[in-house]
Structure 1
């Protein structure tokens, strides 16, 4: 029996974010699991601010970026036996990631973190931190910052709910 059947990898489409994707694909290959690639268009930032009219104008561009981001995950899996399902959602990223993991029956979330600390984390918050705190399934975080260059899978952190 495999430890993981469905691995969720939220992506922001950035090259650094692909480090988390690589971890997710490697784990999926070892555990014969499927990967669910999720991009969340952050519409929550504009709700109720009067920016809705402006938001409507850029929504299509953001959807294109989102589609490209999840397509990149699928492309990285080409040539492997890992099946990738891609989804684009809208809303507050932390909430949508946890909701998707629950609804899709994912048993692990692998996501990047920029490793913010101190006042930055207090002022800015962190999607990864919100997911770690709210997720009903284990979360593996992969540091994406420059200090992560040359790090290995052993450097990733896991949390249990």
Structure 2
């Protein structure tokens, strides 16, 4: 595999985009306020979000947080691999001399452009995912305080309408 093809393959975030998009769909299906998972939306868009499909809701907060941690770990591993390939390409460029084929130099430079862009994208998505639990907590802090005080939330969170099950 050429260095350029390897860079393109390593920069691919399609699978991660699919995972993040699914997480966005599950958050919506759970009925979470969009503000509470805006970091997940930002990560999904950054990674190449596809159309959200109807998915089931999160069973509980723990499942959601575990999914966040898993995706963060996968993205961190990808970022590490990208950094390693960047270092390799830069080292190869440092060894270039007048006898080095021009195509090889151009391929290294193009690979570096792809890798730097991918690293920024993956690091940004990772940072957004790391912010998601805090956003969830901030958005629902009042509800959590209400529950901790021994009170119950209205059915399906209908504070204003007070809808109850039929």
Normalization by structure 2: what TM-score? 0.27
Higher strand share: 1
Higher helix share: 2
Larger-gyration structure (1/2): 2
Normalization by structure 1: what TM-score? 0.28
Instruction: Say which structure, 1 or 2, has more relative contact order (CA 8 Å, 6+ apart).
Output: 2
